[in-house]
Structure 1
Amino acid sequence: MDITLDKNEDQLNAILTVHLTEADYSAAVEGKLKEYSKKAQIKGFRPGKVPVTLVRKMYGKGILADEINSLLGKAVDGYIKENNIKILGEPLPLETQVDFDTQKDFDFKFELGLLPDFELPADQSITVDRQQVTVDEKTLEETHDQITRQFGESTNPDESETGDYLYGKLKKVGEEGEGRVVLLPTNKVKNGADKFIGVKPGDEITFDLKDAFAGDASDIANFSGLSKEEAASAEGDYVLAVEKINRTTTPEVNQELFDKVFGKDVVTSKEDFDEKVRTTIQENYDREAEGLMNRQIVDQMVNNTTITVPKEFFKKWLVRANEGKLTAEQVDEHYDDYERELKWSMIRNKVVEEQGLKVSNDEIVDRTMQKILGQFNMEMTDELRESMRSFADNYLRQENGKNYVNEYEAILAEKVIENLRGKVVVNDKPVSAEDFRSQAAS
């Protein structure tokens, strides 16, 4: 057997050629033929007494093809590993004409996409923003409104009053179609509120959208489904076809409400409840801000790392690896996204290798137990830990270990981001909750 690797001038593509002679495969083929002759059941011959020559005539080509394919797979994989060749995806076999009746020697070619060496950006050369969100009174008011709607008693009266929500379809006057489904809050209407009071299902309300909400793009976007930019530029009259009126009675602020919102006896007074609401909102925004910053780190690392990808090979491999799911046209359409994902994967793997990042089995099990307990809003105790571990182990073994791999990858990804955070400049940037929501949605 002889294996050669010919790299293109760009050093990103290569052809791997495997030359096989009869000596490379004959012994394995003969062994298989003898096995078949012992097991074959052919009319006129006793089991185990079928002549090898007959088996060769009937099954020889198939056995030869199978053994050569097996030999090729091992040879190609072994060559790539032994020579530490970093490839993209898998080798793509090139079409080869063979004649198993007459040929004794064979040449098989494989196309390789080679992954280039690259350097990560210098430490502290990349800057990202960490949003420090301030919880304002408007955000608190909206949260209390959500609590009221979630835990208050809901009814659908025949006629609207102040504070009701009007469910229906909204569209600009003269616009084709039925419009978009909305839930309009009457208590947010600042001008011409009388139009929305005393309304019944089946009524239509025509109003100047921008004027009704005093140009507050945030309020308009929140209920209309428009983006903040679209809401800010909304002009002229709109019509709301009312289908239903939603009214929610404000729940009593008592221990029953506290328990419904945060769990039994977590808070026991109005002051503690208000503080817990504020703290929870802040924690949620802080968590979202961390996620936004992490996405910035990924984007900046990809944008500032020079990696040349074997583009045409990558496209072919994507189609081949996703046969029946992706077409060449679809790959072309979304190629930039696929390339960015590949580059980030290469950067992530380089960080793991250079920094020696690892994930232990205990980390995976502990994370799984915490997730399970979090679903039931329970805290980990020594007593619970023992009983939950077997439950977690069972979950991680499910789907042929796929759950285990998913948890492993998630923890490793977090470690990569944490490592990179120590290598970038982080600027704290104060921002209002409203502005932050706009940024996160864009």
Structure 2
Amino acid sequence: MNITRENVDALNAVVKVDIAKEDYSDKVEKILSDYRKTANIPGFRKGHVPMGMVKKQYGKAVLVDEVNKLLQDALNKYLTEEKLDVLGQPLPKQQDNIDWDADTFSFEFELGLAPEFEVNVASKEPIVKYNIIADDKMLDEQVANIQKQYGKLVSQNEVVADSEITGVYRNEEREIENKVSLTLDKFAGDATEKLFLGAKAGDVITLQTKGLFDDEHELMHALKLGHDEVHGLDIEVTFTIEEINTRELAELDQELFDKLFGKDVVKSVTELKEKIKEDAEKQFAQQADQKLLNDVTEYLVANTQFDLPAEFLQKWIQQTSNEEQSLDNDQAKEEYEKSEKGIRYQLIESKLIVDNDIKVTMDDIKNHAKEMIKGQMAQFGQMNPSDKELDDIAARVLSNQDEARRISEQLISQKLLELYKEKANIEVKELSYEDFVKEVYGDK
């Protein structure tokens, strides 16, 4: 067997594989001999079928199968030994008339080669790393929410500003009938609130859906309709009041603190706020880290310049599409353009991993799985699971290859984030969560 490569340019190559008779003949003969022992052909006893008949009936199929196996094994071995970093998979060149009666065969494959490039993590302009804090306003709101959540409902005769109202939205024509609980602050403007104030159980309020809420998602929940159905919806609905309650706030006492965090973990309102702040800022840190990871990724993709074998990749996308969704040239180009950014980042990420010797071991994956399991068990009150319990559960979790891969990718992302924090040009900005949302996502 002989394998040669011709580099078309820096990003494309053609590999030629020449297979001689001595490469496959012994294997083909052995398989045909085994077939002869088991072949069941009328007129011949098993094991006594003439070899010529076996070759005539099975020879070509066995030859084709063995040559293809040999071809794939040889090609994979060649790519590994030559340390060729290919994109996609080698594409066989079209050969319409292979003479399977010949002794030697030649096959050609197109390769798309990964480009050579350097990655500079440090940007000229600083990338913001947010330090999100839970300010006094948020802490007060969280305490108030806890008091409401753990308070008790007290029945009322009529609706007042802070009432919790249960009732049914109806519209016969649209077959809408949906029971919900609501508070008046959900409605847009004061006009709707005025319709409810002073109303009693059994009263029917007529409402227009247009402008009823600031957020159409609230209308989806209220009427139990899909997003497309509520978009621009302008109909009349009724709301029949069934119950009116007010919520008596829970006392901020030791009984409530113990219910929330366990006995004597929190002993005062000050400690309650400290605990809320600690838990909230842990979550904020994760959100800020994800934002930093996204921002550095965007910077690297936009500022790390290299060419790709675009024509090859479009052809590869086209040839690997399934029969039910076969793509023409224009569709393959469109799919490539959609995936180009992802391809670029995969190459950049791989380069960073190699250059910085970033590795994730099986022990890393196992330890991460155990910490994750430990956290989940703590949510259900199991605070001190044994090492054996954690090992057994982790083994079951990691027996799922998809889950093991997901954890591995998560750990790689964490290590890349550590790299970015160390080497990127970062500017720390401290602000409240409310201001973070406004700055990053817009004032909604």
TM-score range, shorter chain: 0.7 to 0.9
Q: Secondary structure at the match of 2:71?
A: helix
Q: Look up the SS of the partner of 2:49 in the other structure.
A: coil
Alignment partner of 2:78: what SS? Answer: helix
Aligned counterpart in structure 2 of residue 186 of structure 1, from 157, 168, 184: 184
Corresponding residue for residue 375 of structure 2: 374
1:317-336 equivalent positions in 2, closer than 5 A = 317-321=316-320, 323=322, 328=327, 332-333=333-334, 335-336=336-337
The letter for the 2-side match of 1:7 is N
Q: Distance between the aligned counterparts of 1:255 and 1:202, measured in 2?
A: 43
Distance 1:35 1:429, change over 3 A: same
Q: For residue 389 of structure 1, report the CA deviation from its aligned partner.
A: 1.2
CA separation in 1, counterparts of 2:254 and 2:4?
77
How many angstroms apart in 1 are the aligned matches of 2:357 and 2:325? Answer: 35
- Following superposition, the deviation at residue 158 of structure 1 comes to 8.6
Aligned mates of 2:276, 2:411 — CA distance in 1: 30
Quote the Cα distance in structure 2 between the aligned partners of 1:277 and 1:240.
41
Query: Which letter maps to 2:426?
Result: V
Q: Which position in structure 2 is the counterpart of 1:346?
A: 347
Percent identity, aligned pairs only, is 28
Shift of the 115–201 alpha-carbon distance from structure 1 to 2, 3 Å rule, reads farther
Residue 59 (structure 1) shift: 0.8
Alignment of 1:43-82 (within 5 A): 43-82=42-81
Aligned to 1:7: 7
Q: Check if 1:110 corresponds to 2:109.
A: yes
Q: Alignment partner of 2:110: what SS?
A: strand
CA RMSD of aligned residues (A): 4.0
SS in 1 for 2:129: strand
Conserved in 2, the CA contact under 8 Å of 1:127 and 1:425? yes
Q: Is the 8 A contact 2:196 2:205 kept in 1?
A: no
Alignment of 1:84-95 (within 5 A): 84-95=83-94
Distance 2:291 2:373 in 1: 25
Letter in 1 for 2:357: G
- Name the CA shift for 1:250/1:4 in 2 (closer, same or farther; >3 Å): farther
**1:259-270 maps to which residues of 2 (within 5 A)?**
259-270=258-269
**Structure 1 CA distance, aligned partners of 2:210 and 2:368?**
52
> Does residue 405 of the first structure (1) align with residue 370 of the second (2)?
no
Cα distance, 1:207–1:392 mapped onto 2, change above 3 Å: closer
1:226-305 matches, cutoff 5 A? 242=239, 249-253=247-251, 254-305=253-304
Q: For 1:425, give the aligned amino acid.
A: N
Describe the shift of the 1:223–1:91 C-alpha distance in structure 2 as closer, same or farther (beyond 3 A).
closer
**Aligned 8 A contact 1:184 1:223 in 2:** no
The verdict on how the C-alpha distance between 1:433 and 1:31 changes in structure 2, with shifts beyond 3 A counting, is same
SS at match of 2:17: strand
In the alignment, the residues of structure 2 paired with residue 425 and residue 206 of structure 1 have an alpha-carbon distance, to the nearest angstrom, of 53
| Shift of residue 114, structure 1, vs aligned partner | 1.1
Shift in Å, 1:53: 1.4
Instruction: Indicate the larger mover: 277-286 or 119-128.
Output: 119-128
Query: CA–CA distance in 1 between the matches of 2:315 and 2:180?
Result: 45
Partner-residue secondary structure (3-state), 1:161 = coil
Aligned residues: 415
Aligned residue type for 1:74? D
Counterparts in 2 of 1:291 and 1:427: CA distance versus 1, 3 Å: same
Amino acid of the structure 2 residue aligned with 1:204? T
Q: CA deviation at 1:240?
A: 7.8
Q: 1:143-178: CA deviations, max 9, x gaps?
A: 3454356444569989533223568999xxxxx999
Query: Could you tell me which residue of structure 1 aligns to residue 315 of structure 2?
Result: 316
**Cα distance per residue 1:345-401 (max 9 Å; x no partner):** 11121122112222222221111111111112269988722331122122212x3x3
The residue that corresponds to 1:414 in the other structure is 414
SS at match of 2:308: coil
**Cα displacement (A) at 1:412:** 2.0
Q: Closer, same or farther in 2 for the Cα pair 1:59/1:117, shift >3 Å?
A: same
Question: Structure 2 stretches of 5 or more lacking a match?
Answer: 221-233
Question: In the alignment, what sits opposite 2:360?
Answer: 359
Q: Does structure 1 retain, via aligned residues, the 8 Å contact 2:153–2:246? A: yes
On the 8 A contact 1:162/1:197 being kept in 2, the answer is yes
Q: Displacement of 1:63 after TM fit?
A: 0.2
Contact 1:251–1:257 (Cα < 8 Å) also in 2: no
CA deviation after TM superposition for structure 1 residue 67, in Å: 0.5
SS of the residue corresponding to residue 6 of structure 2 reads: strand
